[in-house]
Amino acid sequence: MNITEIVSQNQEVMHGALVFAGTRVPVSSLLDHLKAGDTLEDFLAGFPSVSRQQAEAFLEFAFQSASSRVIHARAA
């Protein structure tokens, strides 16, 4: 799954917030739910327009992005 199938950003959709592609659900909603202690299943039940594949792919992308930044920071 490529990033454009996971998330999108458009000034005309949710005032330019990063949303799950094909939805109006801000990615920040997933993060807020997880920070509050909700499970991924809880989030998906509340936002059925977001697929499990999208949510898991976003979390994997975020992990890979953070890992890459740490590796680059150590090398600097």
pTM of the model: 0.87
pLDDT classification of 75: cutoffs 50, 70, 90? low
The burial class, CB within 10 Å (0-12 / 13-18 / 19+), for 63 is exposed
Identify the pLDDT of residue 42: 98
Identify the pLDDT of residue 69: 73
Identify the pLDDT of residue 72: 62
Q: Pick the more confident residue, 75 or 24.
A: 24
Q: Per the structure block, which two tokens stand in for 52?
A: 């499990």
Q: Per the structure block, which two tokens stand in for 36?
A: 């509050």
